[in-house]
Amino acid sequence: MQRSRRTRNLGALCALAVAALIPALVACGSSSSSSTTTPTATASTSTTSNATTSTTSGGGGATTSACAASDVAISLNTSGNGTAGSVYYTLKFTNTSGHACALAGYPGVSGVNSSGAQLGSAAGRNATTAASTVTLASGATATSTLQVTDVGNFTASTCSPTTAAGLRVFAPSQTTSTRITFAFQACAKSGPVYLHVTPVALSGSSGGGGVVATPACTTPELLVRVGTNGSGAAGSIYYPLNFTNRSGHACTLAGYPGVSAVNASGTQLGSAAGRDTTTAPKTLTLANGGTVTSTLQIAEVGNYPTSTCQPATAAGLRVYPPNQTASVRVTFAFQACAKAGPVYLHATAVG
């Protein structure tokens, strides 16, 4: 009997090991590379991995997988419209994956020279229009408006005008970029923000191809709480950071929260939280009352030299929900580093 129990336990452990290995093998084989040509500008895309899906907790509703970089063809309509010292162009993000996927928030954009080196500062965010989650059927398109400011508006000494050879574009929440050939006047020096982008939105050219938008959850619409019963492992304690939709309607969250420790006066202590990229970001649709969670890792500050950490007791956390610029203060006492340098906090993507 005892020997049979040991055999069953060994079999269960083997099954768990195989289950853990399969996702890793799948991830290793999911990279791809491609190049895309548009009638108005050329683009090349580097490798990326596919995103995953999950469901929200607490009756939060279903999710659609985030569009990975390999799922999206990015192009630029170079017929711009000029006004007030700027020219406005349309960036297009077309779902070429063969399945529905979601985009939410702002693309990352910068000017580059012929060697691919960034010219000056990356694009700022034009927040005139609120960000929303756009679910794209296969073949459907979302757009973002790119504003290119006349570099003559900046002093030559702070701008250092030059001709850009193109744009480097990251689809929202992606870390793999596409290079688009497009000549325009740029600033070679960091400082002046001569590019701005709007959040992605529905495209009129998609022809109603199964495209539905759900608004992004804004900070006032969310109740942010930290579960104080943490789990300890390997010199760290892990706490659930919960985001509950109290807006009265469905809304979406996608990506990583911004987190930092603060003292009693609200001043940040040390470095902000790093990103734990173990789990890929995904777009989550929360029904009213639904909750999603990010796992917050707090490392034991005794792991760092006192001179580089300067241990202190934090009075709480400053938390920015994903893709939001307004924060929430959460009261929570714990040991922190007062000096910038050691990254003693890490947060996962909401899930």
Provide the 10 A C-beta neighbour count for residue 320: 18
How many Å apart are CA 84 and CA 324, to the nearest integer?
28
DSSP state of 57: B
User: What's the DSSP call for residue 20?
Assistant: H
User: Does 2.30.110 match the CATH number of domain 219-348?
Assistant: no
pLDDT at 239 (0 to 100): 96
Identify the helix (H) or strand (E) that includes residue 309. Answer: helix 306-309
pLDDT of the residue at 203: 66
Judge contact between 71 and 36, C-beta under 8 A.
Answer: no
For residue 60, name the pLDDT band (cuts at 50, 70, 90).
Answer: very low
Only one residue has tokens 């029904």, namely 287
pLDDT for the residue numbered 131? 86
Domain-wise residue ranges, the chain: 31-215, 219-348
Q: Residue 221: is its pLDDT beyond 50?
A: yes
Q: Taking the model in full, what pTM does it have?
A: 0.50
Tokens 């994903």 label which residue?
A: 322
Q: What percent of the chain has pLDDT over 90?
A: 59
Please list, in sequence order, all residues whose beta carbon lies within 8 angstroms of the beta carbon of residue 170, skipping any fewer than 6 positions away: 69, 107, 108, 109, 176, 177, 178
Count CB neighbours of 351 within 10 A: 19
Q: pLDDT per residue over 8-54, tens digit each?
A: 443 443 343 334 433 333 333 333 333 333 333 545 544 333 222 22
Q: How far apart are CA 171 and CA 60, in angstroms?
A: 26
| Model pLDDT for residues 236-258, shown as the tens digit of each residue | 999 999 999 999 888 889 999 99
What's the pLDDT at 23?
A: 38
Q: Which helix (H) or strand (E) holds 14?
A: helix 2-28
The predicted-structure confidence for 257-284, as pLDDT tens digits, reads as follows: 999 999 999 999 999 999 999 988 988 8
Task: Find the length of the chain.
Answer: 351
Say if residue 115's pLDDT is above 70: yes
Long-range contacts: 59-62, Cβ < 8 Å, 24+? Answer: 59/287, 59/289, 59/290, 60/245, 60/284, 60/285, 60/286, 60/287, 60/289, 60/290, 60/291, 60/292, 61/250, 61/285, 61/286, 61/287, 61/290, 62/285
User: Which of left, alpha, beta for 96 (phi over 0: left; psi -120 to 50: alpha)?
Assistant: alpha
Q: Is residue 138 within 8 Å of 166, Cβ to Cβ? A: no
| DSSP annotation string for 220-266 | GGEEEEE-S--EEETTEEEEEEEEEE-SSS-EEEES--EEEEE-TTS
Pairing of strands 311-320, 328-337: antiparallel
